[in-house]
Amino acid sequence: MWWSEKYEPVIGLEVHAQLLTRSKAFCGCSTKFGDSPNSNVCPICLGMPGVLPVLNKQVVNFTIRMGLATHCTIAPISIFARKNYFYPDLPKGYQISQYEEPICQNGWVEIELKNGVRKKIGITRIHMEEDAGKSIHEIDIDTYVDANRCGVPLIEIVSEPDMRSPEEAYHYLVTIRQLVTYLGICDGNMEEGSLRCDANVSVRLKGEKKLGTKVEVKNMNSFRFVERALQYEIERQVEALERGDEITQETMLWDANRGICVPMRSKEEAHDYRYFPDPDLVPVVVSEAWIEEVRRELPELPLEKRDRYIREYKIPQYDADVLTSEYEIANYFERVIKHLTHRTEEAYKLVSNWTMGDVLRVVNETHVSMENFPVEPQRLAEMVDLLVDGTISSKIAKEVFEEMLTSKETPRCIIERKGLMQINDPGVIGKVLDEILTRHAQQVEAYRSGKTQVFGFFVGETMKAMKGKANPKIVNELLKHKLQS
């Protein structure tokens, strides 16, 4: 960046993650996404007169999981507070959140940048809160409110202002997403809003200790937008400073269509939330035993998993990074490994190659989820086993894989049905070779007089004649032998 010699951006992120509990935070309603509007509601989440909230324990469990995964201190006692503001999609006129005494504090996560450099980003706090409903605006006509989302549990993860570039912010967000999905507490879908991100951005001269005036950037609802919005906002601030202007503390909205940040109307942000402890809820008391129970059930986290892959399966770090980048990918990979008969390094590497290669390619092309991937781990494992024991060649494997995408047959069935079994019998291959050498006596002469490049021609002819089923290794060996004799 042209400014990066002179200026340093300071970025902190606030990430909201929608928790995957089955029922809402304070009532028994379902959290299911996509049901018809106002179908998952009850007097409690609709804020009817006289109702009271009762905390869903699973919300606390999930939050402790995230707290432990981010090395936070889990508070033995934390308090729910009311955040008061008026909005049609906020039925009670306040949101139940945590303010002065959040459940998790003082943690950190490690992020890894493209160049392999690792950096610790501090986590200030993680707190529990409830989501608001959704306003559906019909331009110039009416506003409708869908209360299905009212009361769906969220955690807000607040980072320290430790990031120094949009790239770092991007990697931080990727890490947070990776963690919540690994922990099984959030589906991590930014486009659908189950993961939301706001940023606090300021810039200062390099070497300056004091923080600049911060601007809040909201509405960055995809990973790509976060990096672009921050880039835009940093440049806007640097340009302002270069002009000698002062930065005003304000809230900006990222406008994805125009690719710019627009200031929010000041009336919308002039909130005094009048936080105070919610008298309807008792303090959340978390015992040591409870924390230990959650810790015991904590799944393997991305970095641990990556290191284990390298250690246990002897795959390269690059492979391990790709495979552990998302929980679903790692899960698929491990399930294939589990079904392997050949438990060799060669087989592991093949599973890794196939997962990173053809499997991810199809996933990206068809947007099918890993969970519903048409080739089940068991069938891919069988195919890899067939590859390892030489029953099929990698060329045939491609054909088998394509076939498995549309049929439910096992690789063995496909091979048998289509007669794709690799021919390993030197006798059979030798016979075909002899025929080809006889038919192309001229080329044989050429080879023997030193034009060794015709070797490939013979291989090609043999494979063609044997419909690609010949074991290429045996073809090579026999051919070499026959041409030399």
Give the residues lining the site for other proteins (CB under 8 A): 43, 46-55, 82, 84, 86, 88, 91-94, 143, 145, 272, 274-276, 279-282
Q: Which residue's CB is nearer to Zn ion, number 44 or number 132?
A: 44
- Rounded least distance, CB 194 to other proteins, Å: 25
- Rounded least distance, CB 64 to Zn ion, Å: 24
Binding site for Zn ion (CB under 5 A): 27, 29, 42, 44-45
Q: How far apart are CA 229 and CA 217, in angstroms?
A: 8
Q: Which residue's CB is nearer to other proteins, number 54 or number 405?
A: 54
Q: Which residue's CB is nearer to Zn ion, number 45 or number 229?
A: 45
Which of Zn ion, other proteins, none does residue 368 bind (CB under 5 to 8 Å by kind)?
Answer: none
Which of Zn ion, other proteins, none does residue 350 bind (CB under 5 to 8 Å by kind)?
Answer: none
- Rounded least distance, CB 129 to other proteins, Å: 15
Segments in 284-372 forming alpha helices (H): 288-296, 302-313, 317-324, 327-339, 345-354, 360-366
- Rounded least distance, CB 53 to other proteins, Å: 7
Would you give the DSSP letter of residue 56?
-
Q: Which residue's CB is nearer to other proteins, number 191 or number 272?
A: 272
Which of other proteins, Zn ion, none does residue 298 bind (CB under 5 to 8 Å by kind)?
Answer: none
Q: How far apart are CA 210 and CA 213, in angstroms?
A: 10
Which of Zn ion, other proteins, none does residue 45 bind (CB under 5 to 8 Å by kind)?
Answer: Zn ion
Which of other proteins, Zn ion, none does residue 108 bind (CB under 5 to 8 Å by kind)?
Answer: none
Q: Which residue's CB is nearer to Zn ion, number 31 or number 219?
A: 31
Q: How far apart are CA 40 and CA 21, in angstroms?
A: 14
The SS3 of residue 199 is strand
Query: For helices 166-182 and 223-242, what crossing angle results, to 10°?
Result: 150
Which of other proteins, Zn ion, none does residue 172 bind (CB under 5 to 8 Å by kind)?
Answer: none
Q: How many CB atoms lie within 10 A of CB 389?
A: 12
In single-letter form, the type of residue at position 17 comes to A
- Specify burial of residue 280 (Cβ count, 10 A radius: 0-12, 13-18, 19+): middle
Of 194, 251, 160, the residue nearest 16 (C-alpha): 194
Which of Zn ion, other proteins, none does residue 12 bind (CB under 5 to 8 Å by kind)?
Answer: none
State whether the Cα torsion 174-180-184-186 is positive or negative: negative
- Rounded least distance, CB 267 to other proteins, Å: 9
Q: Which residue's CB is nearer to other proteins, number 48 or number 405?
A: 48
- Rounded least distance, CB 153 to Zn ion, Å: 12
- Asked whether 406 and 374 are in contact (CB, 8 A), the reply is yes
Residues 6 or more apart whose Cβ sits within 8 Å of residue 270: none
Q: Which residue's CB is nearer to other proteins, number 81 or number 387?
A: 81
